[in-house]
């Protein structure tokens, strides 16, 4: 299945030998290089007192059959001290190309490790077997890296992530609950029943503090559809200039409608409510309406060029994590392609997809009946958490917080936006877990 070269024996040793480094040269760079399967590139740091490393770590494509092939996974390490805690940032997506600190890292004065999720372009096997892009394989990637680095960083570990990365941190805890001492999951979606999405209807009926804003967002989306010929012309002109194509989704008209169907979700997820004041009136000119719509959501998102790096996200959405189905009553009967609003549309047709929600249901059950030291931090205006993780009768030493008025945040400081008593409690719990 997987390409196996003349260096198979050495590669197999690197893949199977995930034992931690417990002793070695004093310098952290040398200790990192001593880990089988690890490459190390130290770069000039932009954060005082923190060393910056880019790593690649060789992982099995299939953790149940490590002899069947491997790939290299990108990892960013921000080293402060081996005597400090480690915050493992489970990105769920790419790793940003610049140094940054998550909120838990800042609160703890910790080291930080950020792992690119498997099957993103720079962490993808070649050739690609998409059946191995699963939630359990992703959790095993995280576990194996923790095992490899534990000898260098023996203090307590905390996992954190936002959105898909927050979800990944919880999934890892379910399968490897003792790897870390706590998890802080930001704006993490939890689509336990992929066929039941009425929670989103309730969310969009009440989101924000101004009913007029909710009405305006819906009205603008409908107005865009009403002006289909003019919007098509503007989009086609832009696509010709930029070299955009729309083959994956099935043409420019499908891409146009996908953008309109996504508008309400995108506005509330990625814009503060105050942005409503800058929206044009429905009777604005075509160019004004097009430009505003593009700023809020971005017409390029459904081009082949924009979709390609995110194939992994859409693939897992259609095979395991689930996908929301919006109520589009405010856009009917103007829609021509309502049925395309699903992950299958966004993934090339030569990649088979079959949905199985068993892992998501299992993780949800674990959170409610066995989860410990879990902190869920949500945004009050974020539609991604219309279906959130919830604590249950067996959950221990855990909490769910919602920051009022906050939208979808991947790496921002949300704990600091909580009411004072919640902020103090969340910070205290995090520091206790990391001691």
Question: What is the 3-state composition of the chain as percent helix, strand, coil, each rounded to the nearest 5?
Answer: 45, 15, 40
Checking DSSP bridges between strand 374-379 and strand 182-186, what pairing results, if any?
parallel
Say if residue 114 is in the same domain as residue 244. no
Say if residue 208 is in the same domain as residue 185. no
Say if residue 313 is in the same domain as residue 405. no
Give the model's confidence band at 105: pLDDT under 50 very low, under 70 low, under 90 confident, else very high: very high
Q: What is the DSSP letter of 318?
A: I
Dihedral over alpha carbons 58, 187, 155, 123 (to 10 degrees): 10
Peptide bond into 59 cis (omega under 30): no
The yes-or-no verdict on residue 12 having pLDDT over 80 is no
- Per DSSP, helices labelled H in 191-346 are 198-206, 211-226, 228-242, 252-270, 286-296, 304-307, 311-316, 343-346
Say if residue 210 is in the same domain as residue 306. yes
Say if residue 129 is in the same domain as residue 35. yes
Residue 355, domain member (yes or no): no
The yes-or-no verdict on residue 342 having pLDDT over 80 is yes
Say if residue 101 is in the same domain as residue 213. no
Residue 37, domain member (yes or no): yes
For residues 266-294, average pLDDT: 93
Residue 45, domain member (yes or no): yes
The yes-or-no verdict on residue 22 having pLDDT over 60 is no
Pick from 109, 70, 118: nearest CA to 90: 118
Residue 43, domain member (yes or no): yes
Give the length of the chain: 435
For residues 235-240, average pLDDT: 96
For residues 247-269, average pLDDT: 95
Give the model's confidence band at 410: pLDDT under 50 very low, under 70 low, under 90 confident, else very high: low
Based on the structure, what is the number of domains in the chain?
A: 2
For 1, the token pair is: 């299945």
d(CA 270, CA 83): 37
**11 Cβ contact partners less than 8 Å away, ≥ 6 residues apart:** 4, 5, 58, 70
Dihedral over alpha carbons 92, 94, 96, 101 (to 10 degrees): 10
The yes-or-no verdict on residue 138 having pLDDT over 60 is yes
d(CA 67, CA 289): 55
Residue 352, domain member (yes or no): no
For residues 256-283, average pLDDT: 93
For residue 90, the surrounding DSSP H or E stretch is: strand 86-90
Final residue belonging to a domain, choices 302, 318, 346: 346
d(CA 42, CA 415): 31
Higher pLDDT, 8 or 110: 110
d(CA 5, CA 12): 11
Higher pLDDT, 408 or 118: 118
Final residue belonging to a domain, choices 346, 369, 401: 346
Higher pLDDT, 301 or 140: 140
| Cβ–Cβ < 8 Å for 342, 323 | yes
Give the model's confidence band at 411: pLDDT under 50 very low, under 70 low, under 90 confident, else very high: low
d(CA 391, CA 364): 9
Say if residue 92 is in the same domain as residue 237. no
Residue 234, domain extent: 198-346
Of 1-5, 162-166, 199-203, 356-360, give the lowest mean pLDDT range. Answer: 1-5
Say if residue 250 is in the same domain as residue 297. yes
d(CA 232, CA 259): 12
Give the model's confidence band at 26: pLDDT under 50 very low, under 70 low, under 90 confident, else very high: low
Say if residue 28 is in the same domain as residue 177. yes
Say if residue 221 is in the same domain as residue 239. yes
Say if residue 48 is in the same domain as residue 180. yes
């Amino acid at each position: 299945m997987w390409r196996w070269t003349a260096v198979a024996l050495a590669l197999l040793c690197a893949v199977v030998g995930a034992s931690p480094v417990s002793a070695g040269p004093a310098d952290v760079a040398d200790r990192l290089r001593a880990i089988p399967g690890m490459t190390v590139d130290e770069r000039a740091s932009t954060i005082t007192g923190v060393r910056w490393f880019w790593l690649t770590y060789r992982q099995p494509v299939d953790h149940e059959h490590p002899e069947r092939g491997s790939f290299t996974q990108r990892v960013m390490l921000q080293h402060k001290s081996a005597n400090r805690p480690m915050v493992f940032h489970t990105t769920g997506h790419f790793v940003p190309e610049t140094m940054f600190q998550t909120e838990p890292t800042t609160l703890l004065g910790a080291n930080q490790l950020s792992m690119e999720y498997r099957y993103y372009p720079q962490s993808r096997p070649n050739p690609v077997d998409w059946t191995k892009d699963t939630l359990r394989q992703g959790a095993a990637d995280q576990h194996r890296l923790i095992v490899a680095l534990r000898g260098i960083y023996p203090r307590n570990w905390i996992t954190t992530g936002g959105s898909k990365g927050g979800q990944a941190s919880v999934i890892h805890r379910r399968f490897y609950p003792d790897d870390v001492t706590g998890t802080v999951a930001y704006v993490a979606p939890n689509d336990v029943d992929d066929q039941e999405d009425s929670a989103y209807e309730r969310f969009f009926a009440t989101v924000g503090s101004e009913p007029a804003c909710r009405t305006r967002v819906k009205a603008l989306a409908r107005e865009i559809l009403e002006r289909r010929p003019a919007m098509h012309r503007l989009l086609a002109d832009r696509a010709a200039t930029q070299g955009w194509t729309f083959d994956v989704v099935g043409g420019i008209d499908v891409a146009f409608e996908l953008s309109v169907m996504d508008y309400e979700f995108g506005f509330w997820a990625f814009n503060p409510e105050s942005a409503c004041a800058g929206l044009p009136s429905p009777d604005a000119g075509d160019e004004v309406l097009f430009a505003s719509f593009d700023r809020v959501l971005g017409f390029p998102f459904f081009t082949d060029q924009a979709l390609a790096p995110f194939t992994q996200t859409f693939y897992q959405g259609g095979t395991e994590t689930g996908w929301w189905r919006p109520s589009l009553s405010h856009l009917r009967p103007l829609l021509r392609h309502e049925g395309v609003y699903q992950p299958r549309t966004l993934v090339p047709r030569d990649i088979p997809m079959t949905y199985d929600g068993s892992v998501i249901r299992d993780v949800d059950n674990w959170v409610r009946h066995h989860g410990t030291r879990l902190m869920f931090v949500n945004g009050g205006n974020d539609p991604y958490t219309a279906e959130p993780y919830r604590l249950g009768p067996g959950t221990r030493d855990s909490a769910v917080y919602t920051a009022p008025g906050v939208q979808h945040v991947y790496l921002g400081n949300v704990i600091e936006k909580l009411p004072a008593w919640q902020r103090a409690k969340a910070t205290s719990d995090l520091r206790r877990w990391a001691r």
